[in-house]
Structure 1
Amino acid sequence: MSHITYNNLWTEAQKTINEASQFDTVLHAAPQEKDKQVAHTLVSELYVKYITSVNKLDQCYDQIIHPQKRLVIRKLLDACIGRVLELKHELVNLDLSEFSYYDDVLLKLNLSPTEAEITVPNYYRREREEEIQKRNRTMDNILKKLGFYKEEVAQEEMTEEEAIRLIQIHERARQGRLRFQFMKEIRLMKEKVKTADVPKSKVLDGSLAATKIQKTWRGYNARHKIKRRKLEEMLLIGMLQPSFTHVKARQKAEEVKELRHKQQMKHQVEYEQMLVSAKQHIKTCRGGQMKEEIRDELRGWIRDYWNETGKFPDIPSEESGGSTLFFTRQAAESEISKTTTSSSRDGKGKKEKGKKDKEEGKKKKDEEEEDPGFKMQLSNFLGDLQAANSEYEEIWRNRDESKNPWQHADIEMIREQKTAQLEAELRREVDQLLRGELEILQAALARDLVSKGKKVRKASKKKGRSGKKSKKKKEKDLTPDRTLDSLFEELITNGIIRKYPKVQLSEFRGEHSYATHDLRKQGKDPLPSLGDIRQVILEYCILPLGSKTIHQTAPLVKSVLLAGSHGSGKDMLVHAVCTETGSVLFDLSPANIVGKYPGKSGLIMLVHLVNKVSRLLQPSVIYIDNAEKTFLKKVPKSDKTDPKRLKKDLPKIAKGISQDDQVLLIGVSRCPWDCDQKALAQTYNKMILIPRPDYSSLSFLWKELLFQFGGVSRQFDTAAMTKVSDGYTVGAILEVIKEVMTCKRVLQLRVQPLTHVELINSLCKLEPVYKEEDEAFLQWFQKTPIGRRKARQLEIEGELRAELATKSNKKN
């Protein structure tokens, strides 16, 4: 696509953001909403609009070449993603469920469920590709030294003559095999002719032979046309899956994307060089003049201040803004009022403010008690969103770029930006210089006043606040003299840091639940579908973990527990989180740390190393397999892994994760009901149950997995396999496909079509998810914190319905 196409896409996204941000501002200022259904609809509409904006902005940021446009789009993209995560937590509090459904909003906005599904931003991994590859090479080298990889024999490059000679040998061999087969068929035909009875009349009628040939050909041609028309009709109405073919247009689009990525990098390097050269040019040509102007302006202000008050002002610190505060009207008035007002008046004002705040607090409490409705929480991203939005409106919306077809950086914008930056730097230098001059003047004034016999009050040195001091105690560094590379190598050697297979989140296939919205209106709470699980993992794990900016401001998710049957895709989701975010995987599973770092001191060192290295190599994922074993009430005698070794330290690890730490703790469990539920809830603040796939997900899986092979007939009945495989997990279906669709079987598909019996025979060897296991998972999930809150809400709603029903019956 062209530059104009992506500019138009950006304009569409900006229009949606404008509408959503205005509605968002109104919703923040609105009073509490008592009707939760109305509140759910309002929040869902905002949520869907921001999701569509994120998907469009992601395409723009991935393909737009102009470096200054990409800066604005990146701000918008991060702010929109952060707002999506905030609204997701609002929906969770409204629904008391990790899964939200908003079919009414999709109908209102004319969107399909696929359009309302947020995608993984492309820049999460693409901008860190070199770093990730370098880290993988380091891990490979360490593992090779340890002997985990066999040394590859260096193969000599083949010359062109050798390659041609090899091709000739194989081609002659192929022709020889074909000639042998051809001669064999001729010999067999001759033998058949010899054994056949010789007809009495060797003369055949030519017209009869021609009629026979015509009849055969016309029959074949008619059957072929009917079959083709039938297939076209079935494809048109969606009853058959389209063929799995690579389209040239798609390949061309991918080539264009890669070309634009290369052009992006060139323009970015050019832009960075222009930033340096422009600043140096402005500093050389105008630096001295700007410095003199700032000095004269500031000295004039100090002189006026002296004439009005008879005192010398204190220049604020750099953290609070420096002398720029003097040239804003409100700041200047506040500075003068601070120096002239007495301390007693300040005390009275504080008391009056305190009384007003208490009265307002009491009123708010009374209102909350009287009206316990929904109130939107303050957003940390709405301000950034509006700032980036106004920047687009002022600069980029109506900008004429006819003279910049190659989308190079705008030098005039760079000069304006660097002029303001240089002015700020020079102002800091002037401030520092004038602070020294003011100290000299103050000392001279003090000497004059002392000689006249007047008392002098010493100027108090005010320091600007650089921010609140964090109350978090710093952990004592047990390895201060060791480098990160040595710690990284030690953890790889001990198997704590390990490699993981590259899995995209899109490979976790499954449909969304299309009936849950209506069922929830009826007071029911059905289980989610696999598509809903994929969306929640993206919102809780991938989106916050992949960006430092978003993680620092978005609602914090420290730990996630994935619970489900064997083969439900728990490990695959963990690997997908690591792949999409480029994270380092720390394996602290009970079975993995057996015999490693023994003793109490060894355990302390292990926890320290994981905490330290995971923060130095952000983003990081701490993985716990069989998470329930850490909190077992009674360890079986057959278990020799010491599973309760991290019982005290694991909650501390989860609690110690802060907004600045791109670290996520993910636990995986197949029987979470076997342990202490209180300790489990203290460690994992999000618990996600992965159920077995429903009918729609199973049907989608069979179609996707079978029809990726070109030889499988598009008339193959996948609905039958969907019914037969009810109760089996995704892992079981993948094992069946892997066992049946071997390389040899794929080559035989055109001659010997695939049958249901082959798949069913392989499926029967595997164990399904039985009813007892399903019920155990449901009972456990109802006892989780969010499950209890949901059950309590359903009970209250049921009681209210019963009361309304009894009242209506009495009236009748």
Structure 2
Amino acid sequence: MSNAMYNKMWHQTQEALSSLLDKESETVMESQRNQGFIFQMLATFYIKYVQIFRNLENVYDQTVHPQKRLLIRKILDGVMGRILELKHDMVELELTEFHYFDDILQDLKLAPQQLDIPIPKYFLKEKLEVIKGREKILAQILADTGLDMAEKKYSVKSIPLEEAVKVIQIAERARQGRLRAMFMKQIFLQEYRAKQAKFLSEKVADLEAAALQIQKVWRGFHQHKKTEKLRQEEMIFLGMNPPPLFNEVSATIIQAEKVTSLRNEVQIKHEEKYREALVTIKDDLKLIEGPDIKENLQDQIRHWFIECRNLTGTFPDYPHVEEGGSAIIFSNKTPQQVTEDILASQEEEEKNEKNKKKAKKPKKPKEDQEKKSTREKSKEEDEGWKMSPSVFLPTMEEGNNVYKALLPHQALHPQPSPGPTHPPPPLVARQLQPSVVWIGDTEKTFYKKVPSAERMMEPKRLKKQLPKILRLLKPGDRILIVGTTQRPFDAELQSFCKVYQKIILVPRPDYASRFVLWKQIIQRNGGIITNALNISCLAKVTDGFTQGHIVQVVKGVLTDRRIHRQNYKPLVAAEFMAALTRMSPVYQEEEESFKDWYAKTPMGKKRALALTGGITEKGKGEKKEKKGKKEKTKK
């Protein structure tokens, strides 16, 4: 696409963002009590921000104007932050990490794929050198530890000479046996053909019957091909099968990819010119106009000092850096106003110091504090839910205002377009930010009781060290620690929940998810999906199996030999069924045990209280109040 097209896309996205910001500013002041309405509002904002993010990310990636890219990047960062804030609000509202937007997507006429959040392309482009450096470091680490599979050398075991001769003899005799069997088959076929020819030569050849037989076979074959072609055309017309050239890359897409790569090259050149221009213009300004500016500033400072002396009788002190330095002199104020402001600020500082010394308020009794807290809680309940203040809304509004002020006339003007499983030490992770640390079978670190088979490995040795390591991380560190487990109920819940801020229970995939998983995983592993492979049947049969089971089955069936044989022997569902029979699914009892364990986590408890209307909390409060009254009566 051309520059005009991307400018138009940016203009339309900015209009959508502006209207969305207006709606958000209206809803910030309103208080709501209906939880369903609140979720619908948050989900609608979330989906619209995702669409804006996708468009802005595309525009930022293809825009070649450096100043425009700075403004787009600022707005894009604000939109990404707002998406995270809305996601956090939805989690706090519904007390679950999974949300369903089916009805909202239907109202907005969007497909589920449009809700996906792609990884911004500039994440890789701007960190390309860093990524290459990391790859070298990891390759060196793998080479030093001997885990590099590409260069791994397998040891060869030596065998005695007699055993080697015996193996060679067995192989040679088997080869000779195969050759002899092939020769015997050829001799048998020659004798059979000779007998048949002798037998047929005695009969009188019926040419009409032979021709009729040939015609039957040919017409049947021709009609079968014709019927199969008509059936395929009908399925394509009904939308049940893709068109014949559906999976092939068109020439238009290839041309668009070439244009995209050329735009990226032009983008880099413009960025370099822009950075060079910033330096050269500043240097030229210093060289040409620097002496005149310096002389004018000195004259203004002298004039200011003389005016202050004429008003006060003495020369004033030069303003300190903390007070603003010489910037105070060049503000749009008279010398008298500046001196008054300095004196007023000094008096305010003295008053503040005196007030701090006197500010020793008496402590209120506990009863008053409890009454105050209950009043605040009742007040919050009466007011209802309000949207939490956003950190990123001001950034987006500022960027939107800059766009409206500077770039509305440039939005649609075209520009010349270019041509056609152990945690690493710190968590190392800090030096290679952003980084993800994966801990497999994380329940072993927090075992209630260590199994006898694993006592030698001391799996609980990190139980005390891991929280200490996590405390070393600062808020600015971009490190994500992910732990996975298949048996969370074997761990101590309290220490387990202290380490992990969020605990997500991944549910079993439903029919639609299993259908997509089978299709995608088979294609990613080199499989070809034809009409002979019934994906729907596989999705129905695998009810109860997880995503990991499907991956294991596909990798076990699609060996190199089977992939090469697909052209003349297509894949069928029965091949995957045989591998599934050797696996055990997740039964209903096991799934219930996972749900019961999750209900004991902090998020699970909050959700249970929300579903019951907070009855348990009220009961506890009443019991505490009754105990307090009894103690008072005893006293």
Quickly name the TM-score band, shorter chain normalised.
Answer: 0.7 to 0.9
Structure 1 residues 388-429: Cα deviation after superposition (integer angstroms, max 9, x where no partner): 21222222221278684159xxxxxxxxxxxxxxxxxxxxxx
Where do 1:224-303 residues align within 5 Å?
224-234=228-238, 236-237=239-240, 244-303=247-306
Q: Residue 392 of structure 2 is aligned with which of 365, 368, 381? A: 381
Structure 2 counterpart of 1:752: 569
Aligned amino acid, residue 662 of structure 1: R
Q: Which residue of 1 aligns with 2:624?
A: none
Q: Secondary structure at the match of 1:616?
A: coil
Could you list the per-position Cα deviations for residues 571-616 of structure 1 after superposition, in whole angstroms to 9, with x for gaps in the alignment? 8xxxxxxxxxxxxxxx328xxxxxxxxxxxxxxxxxxx625x4333
- Secondary structure of 2:549's match? helix
Structure 1 residues 332-731: aligned runs within 5 Å: 334-335=341-342, 337-339=344-346, 343=350, 365=376, 368-369=379-380, 371=382, 373-399=384-410, 404-405=415-416, 587-588=422-423, 610=426, 613-639=428-454, 640-706=456-522, 711-714=528-531, 716-731=533-548
Aligned partners of 2:406, 2:113: CA distance in 1, in Å?
A: 33
Partner of 1:59: 58
Q: Which amino acid aligns with 2:396?
A: L
Q: Which residues of 2 match residues 93-172 of structure 1 at below 5 A?
A: 93-145=92-144, 147-149=146-148
What one-letter code is carried by the residue in structure 2 that aligns with 1:24?
Answer: E
- Measured after TM superposition, the shift of residue 746 of structure 1 is 3.2
Q: Give the equivalent residue in structure 2 for 1:594.
A: none
| CA shift in 2, pair 1:759/1:208, >3 Å | closer
Question: In the alignment, which residue of structure 2 is the partner of 1:20?
Answer: 20
Offset of 1:249 from its aligned partner? Answer: 3.4
Question: Does the C-alpha gap of structure 1 residues 344 and 697 become closer, same or farther in structure 2, counting only changes over 3 Å?
Answer: closer
How far did 1:363 drift?
A: 13
Which residue, 306, 312, 316 being the options, matches 1:312? 316
Q: Tell me how far apart the structure 2 counterparts of residues 383 and 624 of structure 1 sit (CA, whole Å).
A: 38
Residues 789, 710 of structure 1: alpha-carbon distance in 2 compared, 3 angstrom cutoff: closer
Contact kept? 1:242, 1:714, Cα under 8 Å: no
1:786 is aligned to 2:603: yes
AA matched with 2:316: F
> 1:451-476 CA distances to partner (integer Å, 9 max, x unpaired)?
xxxxxxxxxxxxxxxxxxxxxxxxxx
1:271-323 deviation digits (Å, cap 9, x = unpaired): 222222222111111112222333334444454455555662552427x7544
Report the Cα distance in structure 1 between the residues aligned to 2:374 and 2:244, rounded to whole angstroms.
Answer: 63
- In structure 1, the partner of 2:42 is 43
Computed over aligned residues only, the root mean square deviation of the Cα atoms, in angstroms, reads 3.9
Q: Per-residue CA shift, 1:703-731, capped at 9, x if unaligned?
A: 23346667532363222111211111112
* 2:445–2:463 contact (8 Å) kept in structure 1: yes
CA distance in structure 2 between the aligned counterparts of 1:399 and 1:122, rounded to whole angstroms: 25
Count of residues in Structure 1 that have an aligned counterpart in Structure 2: 559
Change (3 A) 1:98 1:402: closer
Structure 1 Cα separation of the partners of residues 447 and 461 of structure 2? 11
Distance 1:391 1:298, change over 3 A: farther
**Match status 1:80 vs 2:79:** yes
Cα distance in 1, alignment partners of residues 301 and 375 from structure 2: 46
Residues 728 and 312 (structure 1 numbering): CA distance in 2 closer, same or farther, change over 3 Å?
Answer: same
Cα 1:215–1:105 change in 2 (3 A) is: closer
Q: Is the 8 A contact 1:632 1:644 kept in 2?
A: yes
Query: 1:122 and 1:365 mapped to 2: Cα distance?
Result: 47
**1:206–1:302 Cα change, 3 Å:** farther
CA 128–349 in structure 1, closer or farther in 2 if over 3 Å, else same: closer
The structure that has the greater radius of gyration is 2
SS at match of 2:112: coil
Instruction: Name the counterpart of 1:762.
Output: 579
SS at match of 2:32: coil
Following superposition, the deviation at residue 62 of structure 1 comes to 1.6
More displaced, 127-136 or 194-203? 194-203
1:43 CA drift (Å): 2.2
- Go from structure 1 to structure 2 and tell me whether the alpha carbon gap of 1:108 and 1:64 turns closer, same or farther (over 3 Å shift): same
In the TM superposition, residue 688 of structure 1 has moved relative to its aligned partner by 0.9
1:168-192: per-residue Cα shift (whole Å, max 9, x none)? xxxxxxxxxxxxxxxx9xx989879
Structure 1 residues 127, 195: CA separation in 2 closer, same or farther (over 3 Å shift)? Answer: farther
SS at match of 2:583: coil
* Deviation readout 1:135-179 (Å, 9 max, x if unpaired): 2123323443554448969xxxxxxxxxxxxxxxxxxxxxxxxxx
Residue type of the alignment partner of 1:49: K
Contact 1:631/1:679 (8 A) holds in 2: yes
Q: Given that residues 144 and 151 in structure 1 are in contact (C-alpha distance below 8 angstroms), is that contact kept between their aligned partners in structure 2?
A: no
User: How much has 1:790 moved relative to structure 2?
Assistant: 0.5
| CA distance in 2 between partners of 1:324 and 1:363 (Å) | 51
The one-letter code of the counterpart of 1:735 is: Q
Structure 1 residues 111 and 299 mapped into 2: Cα distance closer, same or farther (>3 Å)?
A: farther
CA 1:781 to 1:56, structure 2 compared with 1: closer, same or farther past 3 Å?
same
State the distance in 2 between where 1:350 and 1:105 align: 58
Deviates most, 711-720 or 242-251: 242-251
Q: Is the 8 A contact 1:143 1:149 kept in 2?
A: yes
Q: From the superposition, tell whether residues 247 and 403 of structure 1 become closer, same or farther in structure 2 (CA, over 3 Å).
A: closer
TM-score, length-scaled by structure 2 = 0.77
Distance change >3 Å, CA 762–CA 214, structure 1 → 2: closer
**Higher alpha-carbon deviation: 690-699 or 95-104:** 95-104
| TM-aligned CA distance change 1:103 to 1:249, over 3 Å | same
- The 1:744/1:401 distance shift into structure 2, 3 A limit, reads same
DSSP-derived class of the 2:436 partner: strand
CA 1:616–1:74 in 2, change beyond 3 Å: closer, same or farther?
Answer: same
Matches of 1:679 and 1:33, distance apart in 2: 37
Secondary structure of residue in 2 paired with 1:685 = coil
Superimposed CA distance per residue, residues 637-674 of structure 1 (whole angstroms, 9 cap, x where no aligned partner): 32222222222222233233222111222222221222
Amino acid at match of 1:392: Y
Deviation at 1:80, TM superposition (A): 0.7
> How many Å separate the matches in 1 of 2:302 and 2:45?
51
**Paired AA for residue 33 in structure 1:** Q
Matched letter for residue 229 of structure 2: K
Show structure 2 runs of 5+ residues with no match.
Answer: 153-185, 362-371, 617-635
The equivalent residue for 1:507 is none
Instruction: Give the 3 Å change call, closer, same or farther, for CA 193–123 of structure 1 in structure 2.
Output: farther
> How do residues 206-225 of structure 1 correspond to structure 2 at under 5 angstroms?
215-216=219-220, 219-220=223-224, 222-225=226-229
Task: Check 1:304–1:128 CA distance in 2 against 1; reply closer, same or farther (3 A cut).
Answer: same
Structure 1 residues 208 and 686, CA gap change in structure 2 (3 angstroms): closer
Tell me the secondary structure at the aligned position of residue 429 of structure 2.
helix
State how far apart, in whole Å, the 2-side matches of 1:203 and 1:151 are: 67
